[in-house]
Amino acid sequence: MSTTTTEIARFAFVRPDDVAGAVAAGAAAGQGGRFWAGGTDLMLEWQRKQRSIETSIDITRLSELRGIDVGPSEIRIGALTTLAEIERAAAVHPDLETLAAIAAVMCTPQTRTLATVAGNLCNASPAADLAPVLMVLGARITTLTAEGGRELELEDLFAAPKQSVLADGELLTHITIPLGGRRAVRYGRIARTVVDIALTLSACALTLDDQGRIITARIAFGSVAPTPLRAPSGEQLLVGKTLAELTPELLAEAATAAAGDANPIDDIRTSAAYRRHAIRVLTQRALTEAVAQLSVGGDQ
Amino acid sequence: MITVLVNGREQAFEPAADASLAYMLREEAGLIGVRVSCGEGECGACTVLVDERPVTSCLMLAHQAAGRKVTTIEGFGSPENLHPIQQAFIEEQGFQCGFCTPGFIIAAAAFLEENPSPTEEETSIAMSGNICRCGAYPYIVRAVMTAAERLRGASV
């Protein structure tokens, strides 16, 4: 492992050779340590003096944390998989199409080369675009510290704006998406144009069982609450229904109920009132598209 | 100390731990074709290739480039023998002031490597990570389309 400190530097830079070295470095660094991957948020927070960092632990060389593997019952996404790689992952598995489509409109091509999926999640921005779609995919995250590992639901990662529940020295190693059933994943996103951060984002996933009933329904939002948010009130109206029972009226009702779970604010990008309206409309459209997708698939 | 393969030449650097790659390339290597405009990863002026992929070098730590291959606009063609993308930008007037041009050319090179036969729309979207304050966008898209045609011809 190489360590660099210079007189004018204000943090130490360490580059562990493997995951064990990384969590050891995280434990040694304690409160002042930060795992540094793409660094596209950290660099700005550091330069704007929004964050104090004593030790930056460069994890970008840990190749075991990179890449997407599809197994029989789950998809595993390494923490360091970049947005550029996610963007090209639609061919890897159909359930990743929506994730890929969202990655393709995040930040810019040359920033997507650097930015990682774990960075997008661990920075815990309420506007993290990958979070809602990974949440509707039922994603779990696995973390490691020098003491050992744990697994948690992705939706339990977010504590507050820009604050995750991870402890000092706790490294997110990979994200797991369970497979099974016939699933449609759709989203709606409103932003000024490409490159812009979303004003609101709604994602939904509907899964059919063998009897043609909705076995799981998940709806999640970005940019309408202090954290990325599950919207259970809308989901409950859909579970157990057949496709024929998912009428436009019921989908509208579910979208309205889901939007009730949102808790948006006014900020520089748009108003709370607009977000509350838009999230309902986006959810209704996403649900309608998901039902249409499942209906077409059923005829095959 | 780190070594980086910059435009085909192995070079040693001693950047501060928190220095950006853009800072190191400009201030230590003297490669001022790396433009720093926003310094926040929005404008693309500092775009360079790291292991052949485009990155906003203002957001990357210099130390993260250790042992890697970095290409800046200085590594594209020469005044006597311009790269086809550089030639196309001149012919199609893909710039006014030229400040953003190195970033655009490098972004275009990375894009055409992956998609040698793009549509105009694909080209516009691929160039979305670069800002041109002069507003030369239609000419830039034309330049990239022209370059694509020539590069396809050259590889046949």
What is the H or E stretch that residue A83 is in? helix A83-87
Nearest CA in chain B to A59: B64
Asked if the structure places residue B19 within a domain, the reply is: yes
Asked if the structure places residue B11 within a domain, the reply is: yes
Q: Please, which residues have CB within 8 angstroms of residue B35's CB and are 6 or more apart in sequence?
A: B45, B46, B99, B100, B102, B103
* Distance, CA of B34 to CA of B44 (rounded, Å): 10
Is pLDDT above 60 for A298?
no
* Domain termination site, one of B55, B74, B93: B74
Is pLDDT above 70 for A197?
yes
Which of A7, A17, A108 to probe by mutation at the B interface, max B CB count within 10 Å? A108
Q: Residue A7: what pLDDT? A: 45
Cβ of A111 and B41 within 8 Å?
yes
Domains contained in chain B, number: 2
B23 and B41: one domain? yes
Tell me the ipTM for this assembly: 0.95
Asked if the structure places residue B79 within a domain, the reply is: no
Q: Please, which residues have CB within 8 angstroms of residue B29's CB and are 6 or more apart in sequence?
A: B6, B11, B13
* Distance, CA of A145 to CA of A158 (rounded, Å): 18
pLDDT band, very low/low/confident/very high, at A9 (cuts 50, 70, 90): low
Cβ of B128 and A4 within 8 Å?
no
B66 and B88: one domain? no
Asked if the structure places residue B136 within a domain, the reply is: yes
Region A174-202: mean pLDDT is 88
pLDDT band, very low/low/confident/very high, at A30 (cuts 50, 70, 90): very high
* Domain termination site, one of B32, B49, B74: B74
**Which of chain B's residues have a Cβ under 8 Å away from the Cβ of A38?**
59
Q: Residue A266: what pLDDT? A: 87
**Which of chain B's residues have a Cβ under 8 Å away from the Cβ of A36?**
61, 64
Q: Residue A49: what pLDDT? A: 87
B137 and B93: one domain? yes
Q: Please, which residues have CB within 8 angstroms of residue A7's CB and are 6 or more apart in sequence?
A: none
Residue B54, burial from CB neighbour count under 10 angstroms (0-12, 13-18, 19+): buried
pLDDT band, very low/low/confident/very high, at A2 (cuts 50, 70, 90): low
Residue with tokens 């977000």: A275
pLDDT band, very low/low/confident/very high, at A267 (cuts 50, 70, 90): confident
Residue with tokens 């720093």: B36
* Tokens standing for residue B147: 């370059």
Residue ranges per structural domain of chain A: 2-56, 65-178, 182-299
pLDDT tens digits along A83-135: 999 999 999 999 999 999 999 999 999 999 999 999 999 999 998 999 999 99
Q: State the smallest CA–CA distance between residue B41 and chain A in angstroms.
A: 7
Cβ of B53 and A11 within 8 Å?
no
Q: Residue A4: what pLDDT? A: 58
Q: Residue A194: what pLDDT? A: 66
Dihedral angle, C-alpha B29, B34, B36, B38, nearest 10 °: -140
What is the tally of helices (H) and strands (E) in chain A? 10, 15
Amino acid at A209: D
* CATH code, A65-178: 3.30.465.10
B29 and B56: one domain? yes
pLDDT tens digits along B112-136: 999 999 999 999 999 999 999 999 9
Structural domain span for residue B126: 84-155
Q: What angle do CA A220, A224, A230 make, to 5 degrees?
A: 25
Q: Which of A224-228, A293-297, B130-134 has the lowest mean pLDDT?
A: A293-297
pLDDT tens digits along B16-61: 999 999 999 999 999 999 999 999 999 999 999 999 999 999 999 9
pLDDT band, very low/low/confident/very high, at A300 (cuts 50, 70, 90): very low
Q: Residue A299: what pLDDT? A: 45
Which of A110, A112, A195 to probe by mutation at the B interface, max B CB count within 10 Å? A110
Q: Which of B17, B47, B111 shows the shortest C-beta gap to A4?
A: B17
pLDDT tens digits along A48-78: 988 889 999 999 999 999 999 999 999 999 9
Percentage of residues in chain A with pLDDT exceeding 70?
Answer: 95
Cβ of A109 and B126 within 8 Å?
yes
Q: Residue A245: what pLDDT? A: 97
- CB of A5 within 8 Å of a chain B CB? The answer is yes
- CB of A273 within 8 Å of a chain B CB? The answer is no
Is pLDDT above 70 for A151?
yes
Q: State the smallest CA–CA distance between residue A218 and chain B in angstroms.
A: 31
Cβ of A40 and B41 within 8 Å?
yes
Is pLDDT above 90 for A6?
no
Cβ of A11 and B17 within 8 Å?
yes
Asked if the structure places residue B42 within a domain, the reply is: yes
Any idea how long chain B is?
Answer: 156
- Across chain A, mean pLDDT equals 93
B55 and B102: one domain? no
Beta-sheet strand order (sheet of A74-78)? A68-70, A74-78, A171-178, A140-145, A148-153
Residue B68, domain CATH:
3.10.20.30
Cβ of A114 and B39 within 8 Å?
no
Q: Residue A3: what pLDDT? A: 62
Is pLDDT above 60 for A8?
no
- CB of A47 within 8 Å of a chain B CB? The answer is yes
Residue B100, domain CATH:
1.10.150.120
Q: Residue A269: what pLDDT? A: 84
pLDDT tens digits along B65-78: 999 999 999 999 99
Region A262-274: mean pLDDT is 89
What is the H or E stretch that residue B149 is in? helix B137-155
* Domain termination site, one of B74, B109, B132: B74
Angle in degrees, 0-180, between the axes of helices B137-155 and B84-91, rounded to the nearest 10: 140
Q: Which of A12, A44, A58 shows the shortest C-beta gap to B64?
A: A58
* CATH code, A182-299: 3.30.390.50
Asked if the structure places residue B38 within a domain, the reply is: yes
